[in-house]
Chain A
Amino acid sequence: GAVVSQHPSWVICKSGTSVKIECRSLDFQATTMFWYRQFPKQSLMLMATSNEGSKATYEQGVEKDKFLINHASLTLSTLTVTSAHPEDSSFYICSARYRLAPYEQYFGPGTRLTVT
């Protein structure tokens, strides 16, 4: 149980285009989903917290107009990287909260974005 999927697992796009990444909780309902960014050999940096039916809360320094987050249902959240640039190339990971406890947060397999 508590499986989280992400799609796509890998995407290459041209500079200036937009890319949408989906995060789904497959066997549970997640009122809260989190989006992280991870550079090679670095830790996960929280980008935003997404609650179903409300606007996402972005961490300091994260451009909300560039990284659009939509949490339309209890099982789906999307991250859209708008007007992508090479510096946006990274590994994007989502997690979904199963229950209130902090350790009840399950991670997706990640999406590798490469912007050329």
Chain B
Amino acid sequence: QKEVEQDPGPLSVPEGAIVSLNCTYSNSAFQYFMWYRQYSRKGPELLMYTYSSGNKEDGRFTAQVDKSSKYISLFIRDSQPSDSATYLCAMSERETSGSRLTFGEGTQLTVNP
């Protein structure tokens, strides 16, 4: 069983739609939860991070973490064609110099104008 599971999609939505992206995980030691956006043939860029459970909002993006269910989500409101990319969830156990990120498979999102 993979430590982090993410629906690879692809997901296609019309412009203006609300997008929900999700990941589940099995390692209860994960404490840091990140969402990255990756455009084709580019490196990932950090969108949001959350420590432990709770919600975090940044503009059109909202990240949610439910540690009791081992489930995290990223919501994109008023989606735009420029949001078309692959979205990767990533998790880490702790804040040390050697802590590693474990990534989900990534969900490919297309927002149609």
Contact = CB atoms under 8 A, between A and B. Distances in A.
Interface of A: 4, 6, 31-32, 34, 41-46, 49, 51, 57, 91, 93, 95, 97, 100-103, 105-110, 112
Interface of B: 6, 8, 32, 34, 36, 41-46, 49, 88, 92, 94-106, 108
Given A41-B8, A43-B104, A97-B97, A103 B88 contact: no
B97 A105 contact: no
Contacts of B34: 102-103
A102 B32 contact: yes
Contacts of A34: 100-101
Which among A101, A103, A109 has the greatest number of chain B C-beta atoms within 10 A? A103
Contacts of B97: 31-32, 51, 97, 100
A105 B41 contact: no
A44 B41 contact: no
Contacts of A44: 44, 88, 101, 103
